[in-house]
Each structure stands twice: as structure tokens, then as C-alpha cells.
Amino acid sequence: MQDSRAETHTSMAAHEVLAVVLQIRQERLSVLLWRRARPPFEKCWVLPGGRLGTAEGLGESIRRQLAQKVDVRDLAHLEQLETRGDPGRHPHGRTLATAYLGLVPADIDPVIPGDTAWHPASDLPPMGFDHAAIVHSGRRRLRAKLSYTNIGFALAPPEFTMSELSRYYRAALGHDVAATNLRRVLLRRGQIEETGESVPSGRSGGRPAALFRFRVRRLEITDAFAVLRPPQV
Amino acid sequence: MQDSRAETHTSMAAHEVLAVVLQIRQERLSVLLWRRARPPFEKCWVLPGGRLGTAEGLGESIRRQLAQKVDVRDLAHLEQLETRGDPGRHPHGRTLATAYLGLVPADIDPVIPGDTAWHPASDLPPMGFDHAAIVHSGRRRLRAKLSYTNIGFALAPPEFTMSELSRYYRAALGHDVAATNLRRVLLRRGQIEETGESVPSGRSGGRPAALFRFRVRRLEITDAFAVLRPPQV
DNA sequence: TCAAAAGTGTTCCATCTACACCCATGT
DNA sequence: ACATGGGTGTAGATGGAACACTTTTGA
């Protein structure tokens, strides 16, 4: 630590903030992308975002940009994902990018500009920069958190039936989730509760489905210390 | 996304890279801190790190700085923790900081400069900036990963007895970990294996302890999908 | 009365904790 | 011998997966 200049003369670098905005759309986990109109990576798809304003925080900045640029104001959850700073990641010179993960509940359909579109997260179009890798990070993060947090609240509408919820989980996790067991797991953990209401059955009959809601619509870890728990004493 | 200037004219901001370097020392989880000699936060303790070089990646930069400035070259593991960019976090103007978590195995005692020292992570001295909060993030990350990854490899020496390992886990987790069960859990997960060697018992007698090693000394998730597993089919 | 969809009960299994007991060694 | 620390066996608890069965509705 001899070099005391390090404390004040930090280097300047371009900095942008990006978002992996995910939503379950038509039973698929989808990500909001923007199509570039000019080089580099002309006509490739990239993550929404842009430069960091001079007096705003990182989370604040991405919220502002999503609202202003792609009209997404209904994020139920937003968390920081990772920062990429590889010297070669941007052809026009050193640019750091801090990526966020944002989740939009399935009942919302934001109005988005013509040059943006939702794409299946499992079948991405040609993407610019390192943004495809960032989307994969976001997907992995979501999948992991579905198993030990209540993050499902940010995918589901305020009220839902168990079979709807199991379809959201299936879309996000990529494998079947039995509604019957999901119900018990989430009830036992206290994540969800019955609203008391129910939904009339459709044309084809069937028992009316009870409506549920998440008890807390803010990220909580509900299954900490899956192993190596502290002693019960 | 009408504002296409966003793609090229990203703002410039000071950027530094910091590290929460943790090691088990005398049965306590400890963090390497540097004592500031000048304002702001004179005589407070801060995380080691400094400005990002113009042509280096983030991880590359923190490795270089730890090697050059505090002579720490033996990180068994390094991962990105979080980026802080609050406008008010640095009194001298906007500074972004990307923090890493680094782990040093317990058998190593790096030579460190006089103005740096190891402090118990659970009993931090007065710290500058938002660095105390970053240390807590690092601790939380380590604790969480101990329960679903093989990250113990980065705390333990290359070979160890189970009672030694359980003491490392206890120091990191903050609660007792029974060596007998830890052995079975880690063996079942395939994280550790016997070397075949054993350690002669000490003056006070006792059965010689078998030596173990981690099978892989690189981060792996060994307990994925603790719940909501994919169907077994 | 039958099909369809939701919900319940029950069994099975994997995995972790706790704790008693056994083993190998030094004095 | 016996104290000391390591290692094994085992019982209990937990929690999730699977699946058959029951309930409630529409046609």
C-alpha cells in the first residue's frame, strides 16, 4: 500500500448500466432486447440500458432508463447481477457495464418501442457485445433463487391459481413442476397463502381453483442453510 | 431506445477495484484491511485495492493490486462480489467500486506491509467509505456458498484432518460444525477424499487422524437444486 | 353420468442431525 | 490400564417427489 496516489487518482472509464429484464410470456421465459440500428453490432440485439448519469446510483439509473427508454415501470424485483470490464468487450474503447436482473410479473404487458422485442431466453437471436453471456447469468440467478427464496412473487401476478403458478415455475426452471407439491412446499415455507377467493372452472368443467397470493412481495430467503444448519440447541 | 447516443457517449466515472480478502486465522474469520494515512477517513481502515489500469480486466486488476500492494499472491479463490456506485459514497466525487471476494488458505501467512493488518470479520475496527458493508457482503457470500458449493477448498490447506476442517467451517459459519457429520456430508457430495496418509497423534494420545483433500480445488456447485429438483425421469 | 381440473392423503426416499459406541494411540 | 481424540453405526427428523384417490364443477 505504499502507493498512496491510488486512493485519489482513480482512473476514469466509460460506464453503462444494463438490464436483463425477464418475464414469463406465453409459457416461456423471455428477455427484453433492443435491436441496434448502427455499428458496432448493427442489427444485432442487445440489452436495454445506457450511460450512467452523473448524480444517480446504479440501481436508480437502470430504473430510470427502463422507464424512459423502453417504458418498463413495473419491475416487481430488481437486483444487481454482475459487472463486466474486460478491456476488449467494447470495440470503441474501454467500457464497464454493470448489469441488473429485473423481473416483470406475468400479468403486465408493458408498451415497448418498435425497436425492442421480447425473445425466448432459451433461444436468443444474434447478440452484440457480451450481452448473451449476461442473459445467461440472469437466467441462472433466477433459477437458483427460485429454489431458496420467494422470488416467484416477481414472476406471478398478485393473485394466481396453483396451476398457473406451476406453469410460471416450469417456464423459468425449464422442467415440469407439479402443482400439487409446489403448493405444499410454498405453503409450508410460508411464502404463499390462500386469498379465500376462487376462480370458476372453465368451459370444460373441473373443480374451481383456489386463488393464492405471495405473503411478502419483497425478496426473502425462505430456505437458508439447506445444509450445515446451526445446531438446534 | 430513441436516444441512440446512449450507445456511444457513455459517461466517464472514476473506477476502483477492492477486495474482501478473508482467511481463517487463529480460529477466526479475518479480513485484510489497510489503514489510511490521510483524509478522507484518516486513520480509518479500508479494503485493499485501487484504481483500475487502462488495459486490464477487473479480476486481473485486483489480483495485480493485491500482489503488488499487499503481497497477497496466494488466493485460492476470487469472485466478484458487488459494485457500488452511490453518488455520495466517496466525499471527493463520484467513484464506482467493484468489490471482489478473495480467499486465502489457512496454511499461508502472506507477508503484508506495516500499514495493513488482519481483523476479525465479526469485530471490525472503524472503517471508511462503505467498506464495512462490503465486508459484510463478503461474509454472507462465503457463508452461503459453504452450504452448497465446495468453497471450503479455498479456506483449508491442501491436506487436512476432519477436525481441522470442522474448525475452519466453524470459524466461517459462526457456529459449531460436528466433524463427524461434516465428513459424511462432504464425502457423499464427492467434495473430499482420503489421501491415505494420517497424522500421528499428539502428546496426549488419541487415534491418528486421517488426512483428506478436496478433490477439486476450483469452485463447483455440489448441491444444486436443493429443492424443486428436476423430475428424476 | 362422465370428463376435466383441483386438491388431499399417503408412501417412499434422500439427506441431514444427534448421539452412543467403538478404535487406535500415547503415557 | 486408561485417557484422549478419531471414526462408525444408527435412530430420528425433515422435507420433497410421486402417485393414487377424492372433490367439485360443466356439459
- The mean pLDDT value for B12-17 works out to 88
Please give the pLDDT value at position B5: 36
In degrees to the nearest 10, what's the CA dihedral of A23, A25, A31, A32?
-90
- The mean pLDDT value for B35-41 works out to 91
DSSP-assigned states of every residue in B112-134: --TTEEEEETTS---B-TTHHHH
The residue of chain A nearest to residue B46, with distances taken between CA atoms, is A7
- The mean pLDDT value for B55-74 works out to 92
Whether the pLDDT of residue B8 is over 80: the answer is no
Spatial CA neighbour of A164 closest among A198, A130, A189? A198
Contact positions of strand C to protein Cβ (< 7 A) = 3-9, 15-20, 23-27
A176, B21, B145 from B164: Cα distances, Å: 42, 21, 19
* Per-residue model confidence as pLDDT tens digits over A84-119: 999 989 888 889 999 999 999 999 999 999 999 999
The gap between B161 CA and C25 C1' (Å) is 16
- Chain mean pLDDT for chain A: 89
- Classify domain A2-138 at the CATH topology level: Nucleoside Triphosphate Pyrophosphohydrolase (3.90.79)
The gap between B180 CA and D9 C1' (Å) is 12
**How sure is the predictor about B54, in pLDDT bands with cuts at 50, 70 and 90?**
confident
- The mean pLDDT value for B90-113 works out to 93
Mutate to test the interface with A, among B83, B86, B185, B189 (most CBs of A within 10 A): B83
Q: How many CA atoms lie within 13 A of A134 on its CB side?
A: 32
Whether the pLDDT of residue A220 is over 70: the answer is yes
Distance CA A218, CA B122 (A): 27
* Per-residue model confidence as pLDDT tens digits over A145-199: 998 899 999 999 999 999 999 999 999 999 888 899 899 989 988 999 999 988 8
Whether the pLDDT of residue A225 is over 70: the answer is no
Whether the pLDDT of residue A2 is over 90: the answer is no
Distance CA A225, CA A230 (A): 8
The gap between A206 CA and C4 C1' (Å) is 5
Whether the pLDDT of residue A217 is over 90: the answer is yes
3-state secondary structure of B229: coil
The residue of chain A nearest to residue B227, with distances taken between CA atoms, is A147
DSSP state of B26: T
B26, B107, B144 from B200: Cα distances, Å: 22, 19, 34
* Per-residue model confidence as pLDDT tens digits over B147-174: 889 999 999 999 999 999 999 999 999 9
Contact positions of strand D to protein Cβ (< 7 A) = 3-9, 15-20, 23-27
Among the partner residues B6, B38, B50, nearest to A50 by beta-carbon distance: B6
Q: Give CATH for domain B147-214.
A: 1.10.10.10
What SS3 string covers chain A? CCCHHHHCCCEEEEEEEEEEEEEEECCEEEEEEEECCCCCCCCCEECCEEECCCCCCHHHHHHHHHHHHHCCCCCCEEEEEEEECCCCCCCCCCEEEEEEEEECCCCCCCCCCCCEEEEECCCCCCECCCHHHHHHHHHHHHHHHHHHECHHHHCCCCCECHHHHHHHHHHHHCCCCCHHHHHHHHHHCCCEEEEEEEECCECCECCCEEEEEECCCCCCECCCCCCCCCCCC
Please give the pLDDT value at position A92: 85
Percent of residues, chain B, with pLDDT higher than 90 = 72
What SS3 string covers B60-110? HHHHHHHHHHHCCCCCCEEEEEEEECCCCCCCCCCEEEEEEEEEECCCCCC
Please give the pLDDT value at position A123: 96
DSSP state of B231: P
Percent of residues, chain A, with pLDDT higher than 90 = 69
Cell for B154? 479455498
Instruction: Specify the range with the lowest mean pLDDT, choosing from A93-107, A215-229, B109-123.
Output: A215-229
Contact list in A for residue B57 (CB cut-off 8 A) is 85-87
The gap between B231 CA and D21 C1' (Å) is 22
Among the partner residues A14, A147, A173, nearest to B226 by beta-carbon distance: A147
Please give the pLDDT value at position A233: 56
Beta bridge partners of residue B25, listed in sequence order:
B28
**How sure is the predictor about B232, in pLDDT bands with cuts at 50, 70 and 90?**
low
Please give the pLDDT value at position B93: 85
pTM across the whole model: 0.91
Percent of residues, chain B, with pLDDT higher than 70 = 91
Please give the pLDDT value at position A28: 95
Asked if the Cβ–Cβ distance from A223 to B227 is below 8 Å, we say yes
Distance CA B122, CA B104 (A): 17
Distance CA A216, CA B131 (A): 30
Nucleotide nearest the Cα atom of A182 (by C1'): D16
- Vertex B219: Cα angle to B214 and B223 (nearest 5): 85
Which pairing describes strands B209-214 and B45-46: parallel, antiparallel, or unpaired?
A: unpaired
Parse chain A into domains and list their residue ranges. Answer: 2-138, 147-214
Among the partner residues B4, B85, B169, nearest to A37 by beta-carbon distance: B4
Please give the pLDDT value at position A8: 35
User: Nearest-CA distance from B109 to chain A in Å?
Assistant: 17
Place of cell 482512473: A11
A1, B68, B111, B213 from B17: Cα distances, Å: 14, 14, 21, 32
Beta bridge partners of residue A96, listed in sequence order:
A15
